[in-house]
Structure 1
Amino acid sequence: MRRFFLFLLLLITTAQAVAFNKAPVAGAAKLPLKVLYVGYNPEKPMPAHVNYYSTAAGAIEKAYKTRMADFKAFLETRFAQAEVVDVRDYTAAMSDKFDVTILDAGPVKLPADFDRPMVLLHEMAPNVGMPIGLKFDWYCQCLEDDALNINTKHEIFNTPNKVNLTLVIRPTPGSFYNGFQGATTPKQMPMWKVVKEEPGEKEKYIIGMVAHGEGFNDSPDAEAISGGVCLKNAEAVALGRHGNYLMWGFSASPDHMTDEAKDVFVNAICYIKKFDHQLPIVKKVQIENRELIDELVYRTDKALYQKALVSRREGNIRLLKLQQALKDRKAKGEDIGHGNEMFLKMPVTNDMESFEHYLKGYNGEELFARFGTNTKLYHQYYHDNYEYFYPSGSYSLQLDPDAQKLGISNRKVQILEKCILMLEKNEDAALAQRVLERYTTEKFASAAEWRNWLTKNKANLFYTEAGGFKFMVNTYNKNTTAAVRPVSPANIASVSAGPTLTDPVAVTAKLEEGSTKDKKKIVIDAHILKGWHIYAYVPDGSPFIQTEVILELPDGTKGLPEWQSSAGIPFAGGEGMFVWEEQASFKTEISTSALKAGSVIKCGLYYQVCDNNKCFPPKRKMVELQVL
């Protein structure tokens, strides 16, 4: 009887393994997983903000109506159990009844110790990931239809469905050359179609999301699987994993996926199940890593500056042509839209910062005082000190004089060994203690404690720049001490009257006397951190957010005022785009005849701020002005 039971158990286990490792065909067994899809139930009213982004409003409305049914039908054909729930009804406890949860909408509240397998689709990756320190940050909501830089040997392309990817050699996206990585980026790259082409569709589908690739693979709990065609660089991550979370940055629901993508999506669900209860070890606290130094070397170049001068002049010619085209459309009676009306009035300027100002902006006043306009000296400085930089904040680096004095790279474990030895010999103990605390998450008081920690954990140490330029312990292995998680910068309050690295745009507003006694002038100013920009104009189909002026007048105030902005400049990294750098002003006049003393005018901006390497999520900032 016992032999029969063992034989039956073996038969069941074998059958499950076969089912799990074979693509389903008509009549075949489904994969033995229970999957929960969290999205929008179209039977409920569509909220004012949904987690889909498209340059065509019709695409968002269609997605809201169809995505849940689409996913439900697809998942039911592939898995033993598939259920759907509206995000407004979802709780984290529901995921305990399923093997994998697919999150397609938000917001959601997940506890800090949520450790169940979860697939995060498109912008839900940074929406969930950034508050808890995942490496799925908001790099750019500009992922298109194709994957590239693909790790084709990865499990999600090979099991349980063996997918023979159809790779097509295509021209490399132009944005991949807008930075130091461009020098080693090929002119053509093999690409794999994820979102299928639908020539009959007039509206564009919703747009996907990429995360920063810099530092993504620097810890054992994370892996970049694939990049994608986007408006950033070749390192951007479209498919990746961090702990028990998998980022699927592409936006397509199954009806819009290629057949190959459907199989890979199924594989991805099966793959993340392997990381059940495996919380991330590292919290991403550092945006800029050592590649910032490579970028500074690239930007500190006279030829690049001169190229920007040419680009400015050529861009202004395009601006005048765009404005004329808008005038022609308006003359024919076409409504060109509020944003285009403001763009139509935007003045043109050929003003360009000097090369000296350009160098100060990238390298700082201190280095400029030392090296002036001699770019070779900057390059030599960065080369000589490359191994000694560490964070001075999430978005910047500084030179570590302690590591420089020791002459040991701060990303080699030898620096820890050297400092522990210095403590044991009582040689410059203060420096040694500073370095040990700076590059680990520990704060031991004695040399013996440091030595014991290093001896116990050395085999499992790893160095992470995304985690704060720290040596941490791989707690996925047994018999190790747990690494302390750094505090996420999102939880640190920052108060500043001006733009900062964590909030590069400060918005202010004021009321001034108008052209007549019964009018007031509203002036909104955007103060933009050096090196960053907001968008004055983006062409149709661009995923970047054109700046919008927001004005809420008290009841009884009539009319929609026209706004006059300061001059935008051509954006070198995007054809047909115009941006504001450092300062942008918006002015309009309103009638005060219906305004009473004490009434409040609310005004502000809706904008997206980016630099050459990254973007923040779109933001709305409002200022209240009281009428005296």
Structure 2
Amino acid sequence: MRKLMILVLLVLAVPVLAQQPGLNKTKVLFVGYDPGKPLPDMKRSAPGMMSEKDFTAEYSVRMPAFKGLLSQYFGEVKTMDCRDWKPADSEPYDVTIFDFPTTVIEPAKQEKDEKGNVQYISARYLPDNFSKPVIFIASTADQMGRRIGLKLDWLCLCLDADAHHLNANHPIFKGPLEKVVPTMVTKKTPDGIFHYATGENIPKEIPMWRVQKTGYLAGKGARIGLVARGNRFAESPDAEMISSGVCQKDVGAVALGRHGNFFLWGFGAAPADMTEEGKKVFVNTVAYMKQFDGRIPIARKYNDRMATTDDVRETIANVTKKSYEDYVAQMKDFNDQNAKQNKRLNDKKAAGQALTPEEEATLPYLGRVQEIDTWEVFLKGRMGKLASRFGNDGTAFQKYLTDNFNYIYCDPKGFYDYWVDEDVQQIGISNHDVKLLDACVGMLKKNDQPELASKVLKRYTGENFSTAKEWDDWLSKNKKKLFFSETNGYRFVINTYSK
């Protein structure tokens, strides 16, 4: 009888020990600040670029809120303090969510390159080969991803509460947990969009999807979101842009996007301030990312300040009097707002009122009038190195770049540095077209300008073969898998995802 009773108790205990029925089997690790631990040091700034007041107010509830939301959908959810996390901690889990940066593995440093130029090397948070699926929340993406060459970089910490230009047919809106038809509301287009050439044909009002209830622009202490650079973001098969969002940048700024096994959830709100649709898409994103285990990025981006052909297009479009007038208007508005803010804070101090820490930090930078460039100085700045060639002739500058656009080379190690590659120009085939490689191999076989052909092949492949046969064998083997990446060395790259 005693044995029978024990057996009955064991049987009854099974449902309690097993995963709740209906929950997704994806195992989730949430890494943020554990409210059971002391607050982090905030002498310089609070984590996530939040104010100390707002970070402290949310400290006790943010992690539990994410745990509560995730536990409604996933059978196994664990939380961990970001100060304790190590790469091995993610191994047992299908998806890791980083709400705030973890402890630095290698500190930032400065090194000199072969030309003696000092280069800043970002701090390391992750190994180069970290292959577990990840979701980064807001600025954590850039902080943890910069060292390993992720495209989820810091274009602007200025993302508010709404998404726009979203791909509503993307899987994260289809499920697998919740089907969401985004509620689109027509709203005023962010002014920043119109300061870029890409915004020329954007309507004054566009459909938007509300992701969180409150944005930082409402002045209620919301965590500010991050947008990444959209220029050439989706040029490689390892990346996809899903949505832009309300910010101060161009229409292509990335608010929701994936690069390899890493996802940028640019919005900063905790679940309590997410809309119902926003919560559902967030948990869908967690389930979606599980499939990218081991799918590390193919095309790495180690220099977020390199020029791309998108930047060159913008430059071509902006060498006009209209763009100059827009610049002047912006600068006048900046100086006006700066003066008003300076007066407000000084009046506040004069009235005996205490300034907030953020206001105290801002005050020394206020009240300075920003000088407005003349048309000639503005034009020279836009032309860069080519200013000495074209002087004040913006039209000639535009024609030169437009006529030679297929031969533009953007220096992957430079600071928005580009030029026309005269070697490729001589061959007459776009440096983005694999036919250029075919032509160069053909030139080697015929012993037709072999030095030129070899130089171009090495520049645009990163390979270093010495004979025509070696080049021919390599190209024959990889031709169908090649794609051109501007951000990963400005060269052809092999799609390692392709079978």
When normalised by structure 2's length, the TM-score is: 0.84
Distance change >3 Å, CA 319–CA 204, structure 1 → 2: closer
2:155·2:229 contact (CA, 8 Å) conserved in 1? yes
User: In the alignment, what sits opposite 1:294?
Assistant: 313
Per the alignment, residue 533 of structure 1 pairs with none
Correspondence 1:53 to 2:53: no
| Contact preservation (8 Å) 1:388, 1:409 | yes
Displacement of 1:133 in angstroms is 0.5
Contact 2:148 2:302 in 1 (8 A): no
Quick check: which one's helix share is greater?
2
2:92 alignment partner AA: K
Task: Give the conservation status (yes or no) of the 8 Å contact 2:150–2:302.
Answer: no
Is 1:170 matched with 2:187?
Answer: yes
Partner of 1:62: 57
Specify the alignment match of 1:76 in structure 2.
71
* In 1: Cα distance, 2:157 partner to 2:387 partner: 35
- Could you list the per-position Cα deviations for residues 302-351 of structure 1 after superposition, in whole angstroms to 9, with x for gaps in the alignment? 2332444455556545555544444543443334554465356x4547x5
CA separation of 1:327 and 1:53: change in aligned 2, threshold 3 A = closer
Return the letter of the residue paired with 2:151. Answer: K
C-alpha distance in structure 2 between counterparts of 1:220 and 1:191, whole Å: 27
Residue 270, structure 1, aligned to residue 270, structure 2 = no
The verdict on how the C-alpha distance between 1:85 and 1:311 changes in structure 2, with shifts beyond 3 A counting, is closer
Larger strand proportion, structure 1 or 2?
1
Offset, 1:407? 1.2
2:150·2:259 contact (CA, 8 Å) conserved in 1? Answer: yes
Report the alpha carbon displacement of residue 59 of structure 1 after superposing the two structures with TM: 1.8
In the alignment, which residue of structure 1 is the partner of 2:95? 100
Change (3 A) 1:31 1:341: closer
Query: Residue 27 of structure 2 aligns to a residue in which SS?
Result: strand
After superposition, what is the alpha-carbon deviation per residue over 1:343-380, rounded to whole angstroms, capped at 9, x for unaligned? Answer: 56x4547x543322222222135x33332222211111
- Say if 1:107 and 1:168 are closer, same or farther in 2 by CA, change over 3 A: same
1:11-59 deviation per Cα after TM superposition (whole angstroms, max 9, x unaligned): xxxxxxxxxxxxxxxx9611111111111111211112553223x4322
* Structure 1 residue corresponding to 2:397, chosen from 357, 373, 378: 378
What is the TM-score normalised by the length of structure 1?
A: 0.68
Which aligned pairs between 1:566-577 and structure 2 lie closer than 5 A?
A: none
DSSP-derived class of the 1:170 partner: strand
Whether 1:43 and 2:39 are equivalent positions in the alignment is no
Question: In structure 2, what is the Cα distance between the partners aligned to 1:319 and 1:113?
Answer: 45
**Aligned AA (1:358):** F
Structure 1 counterpart of 2:378: 358
How far is the alpha carbon of 1:275 from its aligned partner?
0.9
Contact 1:285 1:394 in 2 (8 A): no
Q: Is structure 2 residue 155 aligned with structure 1 residue 139? A: yes
- Counterpart residue number, 1:414: 435
Pair 320,242 (structure 1): closer, same or farther in 2 beyond 3 Å:
closer
SS of 1:35's equivalent? strand
Report the count of equivalent residues.
Answer: 447
Partner of 1:516: none
Between 1:106-115 and 1:143-152, the stretch displaced more is 106-115
Partner of 1:88: 83
Q: What SS does the aligned partner of 2:147 have? A: helix
User: Which residue in 1 is equivalent to 2:9?
Assistant: none
CA contact (8 A) 1:217 1:224 kept: yes
Larger radius of gyration, structure 1 or 2?
1
* Alpha-carbon distance change, 461 to 252 in structure 1, aligned in 2, over 3 angstroms: same
- Aligned residues: CA RMSD: 2.3
Distance 1:188 1:175 in 2: 13
Contact 1:209 1:250 in 2 (8 A): yes
Partner SS, residue 232 of structure 1: coil
- Corresponding position of 1:149: 165
Amino acid at match of 2:40: P
Which residue does the alignment assign to 1:463?
A: 484
Distance in 2 between the 1:388 and 1:412 partners?
10
The CA deviation string for residues 445-479 of structure 1, in whole angstroms up to 9 with x for no partner, is 1111111111111111111112122111111123x
Equivalent residue of 2:437, what SS?
helix
Of the structure 1 ranges 34-43 and 385-394, higher mean CA displacement relative to structure 2 is found in 385-394
Partner of 2:445: 424
1:279 deviation in Å?
1.3
**Partners in 2 of 1:315 and 1:284 — Cα distance?**
32
In structure 1, stretches of 5+ residues that fail to align are 1-26, 479-628
For the residues of structure 1 that align with 2:252 and 2:444, how far apart are their CA atoms? 40
Residue 286 of structure 2 aligns to which amino acid in structure 1? I
State the identity %: 39
Structure 2 match to 1:125:
141
Aligned residue type for 1:87: C
Unaligned segments of structure 2, at least 5 residues: 1-19, 104-124
**Per the alignment, in what secondary structure is the counterpart of residue 36 of structure 2?**
coil
SS of the counterpart of 1:89? coil
- Note closer, same or farther for the CA distance 1:348–1:209 as it changes in structure 2 (3 Å cut): closer
> 2:278 aligned to 248, 253, 261, which one?
261
